[in-house]
A and B are shown apart, each in its own frame.
Chain A
């Protein structure tokens, strides 16, 4: 450590007893996990479980009320610029600069990140071709479909080859080809490197297919954490990740009752 600045510990992300509150409401009560180098780590939870708040506090977009967060050893609360330089972020909702075209948006993001121009140019050309964005590359974002916007924000997150990807529901709006492509890209991204990915989803199939390890989050707490086989072993009856998730969150019976209560003609 020099000048009070923490050194890089090589761990993409370490979250310890994180708490996030919005006024009187607690969004994250106590969440701990680590994303190791070369790993895709999934946060699986229902809507409102605290996944997005966790990701936002990792970037420093929302202040944490307790606990600690380290991105390659740096604290986003005190070293936000360094942390943000290490991160590629795909937010849950793609609210970008509507008045910019994808080209203009990527130029702005790359400029702010201070990315090497030649490398960025090469990678941008490759991504545009891979995601078939050529025709819409100079069309303002306001006129693009949700799926195309999602592709643009995914490219913006990957362009500068960050050490940590924070992907909040990244497959939203994507067509089947793009979903498959992104899965392959994510898998390739972490192979043999120092890089890690934190991936949040409420879709159990995606978590099962993409993640090396998963934390099941409910009401701002981690209920269980491990690989899918490890989680299966912890739950009576095993089954798919969806079944494991529902058993851990005690929702299996409740769902059946709730569905029956709203069927057409139900009292």
Chain B
């Protein structure tokens, strides 16, 4: 009997993984209708489409980030006191952080499918060498990452080389991109292990739930840093400019010693002739290369660890923690509230969904802290309130529809329950409104430290509520209609990326229009602009709610 190679096993495993990623039958989704012989082909198509969507999104971020390197935009954005080498370093460093965060986040989206597909545990029962199984697991993981990772690895250096007019500068970014891809995979696997050991098996109850959320926040800190970094990017450039002229000695050297800024500084030095000697780092470019090499060794270790880590992760079992003397009290809630509570509970043990809640809240907290404790220049309460509300509303609108994917879990069972489409829509909309309300409140409460204008802030928050509700109903209504006709469109955020974007864009239009109206009408007076904004938002809800809720009525979800 010949033992199959890792590559041939991987090919079969990939077919199964793609099928589960698309149809999630092992997670409780019913087997789809149609000819079963076409499922595998359709699943590959769906995954390819989603990989394409994720890569395109990443590509836009790369091109958007790299375009900031053009001298025209630099003159517009950065202070004239900020040396160009530091400006390029800052932009590329931020881009690398964003790419790392996005790839890591993407990894978290498909890790649950990788684990629930049970490919590796099945292989462990067969006469296949342990090292071969580990290799299969690694190949599957790499395959899941490949298109977005290649976008980073190929597109970024080319774009950087082109915009900076120096191909060597682009080439110098390749090691940085390699570290980003390896670290994103390693972080995804490491956080997956943490998830299985500490979060997935965590017991019910208030105390365990609180600890679980603390775990999730701590674990997600780097991802919040990513969004926070984007939120505070302009202030970061101002800070760099100040540090370069009047900062404490060693501050910039410290920054350049931190990953990934040392990697980002390599192309910056190559693109700005003569900057090597003025680099604010003892040892100049040599120290920069040495630092990058040091980090490179750490990343190489992470790469070695990845050879067996995915295989070990997939074989982990969730530790079940039991307790004596449990009081079997069951609390019954109204259907929409039961959905909200269920979604929160599922999210607290499912990182992909926990992040949907934590990212808007984390971003709001960071924005609020920055607003409360940094110089504001010409900012006024109205513009701060508008920025806070816009940020919270748009994030809730963008991430909110993804909560629909929760329904795929146990869908074949939950469809046997007498759940109406209306209850489902109201439940999910309430969750999105909750996210918006808490995120906006966090920013506004922190902003009160600077401007104590509770009524004005409160009015802004309330004026946007109907628009967020209308956007949520609009998006969820589309998803529910699609799911009734052809099965759940959002099985997970990896294979559902197409539908997430498809409903997010019109949703953002609905929730963003009242805010845009406010900005347009501001010259006529803040009060009038706010009244029009609130009125328009109410009108949107008055149109969308009867149509969507009436459409589904009391029919089964």
What is the interface of chain A, defined by CB distance below 8 A to chain B? Answer: 22-24, 59-63, 80-85, 87, 89, 91, 95-101, 103-104, 106-117, 120-121, 124-125, 128-129, 133-140, 142-144, 153
Contacts and interface: CB of A to CB of B under 8 A. Distances in A.
Given A89-B416, A117-B331, A140 B318 contact: yes
Contact of B202 (A82, A120, A140): A140
A130 to B, nearest CB: 11
Contacts of A153: 413
B412 A134 contact: no
B189 to A, nearest CB: 19
Given A80-B555, A99-B350, A137 B200 contact: no
Q: Kindly name the residue among B30, B322, B324, B416 whose own CB sees the greatest number of chain A CB atoms within 10 A.
A: B416
B35 A100 contact: no
Contacts of A61: 30, 412, 415-416
A143 B199 CA distance: 12
Contacts of B324: 134-135
A97 B200 contact: no
B332 interface: yes
B328 A111 contact: no
Given A112-B418, A137-B328, 17 more contacts: A59-B416, A62-B30, A81-B419, A82-B418, A91-B413, A97-B342, A99-B200, A101-B204, A103-B204, A107-B330, A110-B332, A117-B332, A121-B331, A125-B328, A134-B324, A139-B201, A139-B203
6 contacts: A83-B418, A100-B345, A117-B331, A120-B330, A121-B332, A143-B200
Interface string B315-327: 0011111111110
Contact of B413 (A80, A82, A95, A138): A95
A115 B332 contact: yes
A104 B418 contact: no
A96 B332 CA distance: 19
Interface stretch (B133-141, B302-310, B333-341): B333-341
Q: Kindly name the residue among A97, A101, A128, A133 whose own CB sees the greatest number of chain B CB atoms within 10 A.
A: A97
Contacts, number: 179
A143 B33 CA distance: 31
B248 interface: no
Contacts of A135: 322-324, 326
B384 interface: no
A144 B201 CA distance: 10
Sort A-B residue pairs by CB-CB distance and give the 6 closest, nearest first: A111-B338, A143-B320, A95-B28, A80-B556, A128-B328, A99-B349
Contacts of A117: 331-332
Nearest to A89: B416
B416 A134 contact: no
B201 A140 contact: yes
B200 A142 contact: yes
A95 B201 contact: no
Nearest to A116: B332
Nearest to A96: B410
Q: Kindly name the residue among B200, B208, B328, B419 whose own CB sees the greatest number of chain A CB atoms within 10 A.
A: B328
B272 interface: no
A156 B420 CA distance: 19
B409 interface: yes
Given A91-B413, A99-B200, A60 B28 contact: no
B346 A97 contact: yes
Q: Majority SS of interface residues in chain B?
A: loop
B335 A140 contact: no
Interface string B396-432: 0000000000000110111111111001000000000
B45 interface: no
B27 interface: yes
A186 B325 CA distance: 28
B554 interface: yes
B555 A138 contact: no
B418 to A, nearest CB: 4
B33 A111 contact: no
A140 B349 contact: yes
Contacts of A60: 556
Contacts of A103: 204, 328-330
Contacts of B337: 111
Contacts of A59: 415-416
B36 A22 contact: yes
Contacts of A133: 328
Contacts of B418: 80-85, 112-114
Interface string B194-231: 00000011111100100000000000000000000000
Contact of B342 (A63, A89, A100, A136): A100
A189 B332 CA distance: 23
Interface string B39-81: 0000000000000000000000000000000000000000000
Contacts of B375: none
Contacts of B249: none
A125 B331 CA distance: 12
A107 B318 contact: no
Contact of A24 (B33, B35, B203, B332): B35
A7 to B, nearest CB: 18
A84 B416 contact: yes
B127 interface: no
B195 to A, nearest CB: 11
B413 A101 contact: no
B84 interface: no
Q: Kindly name the residue among A96, A101, A113, A143 whose own CB sees the greatest number of chain B CB atoms within 10 A.
A: A143
Contact of B416 (A23, A87, A116, A140): A87
B329 A121 contact: yes
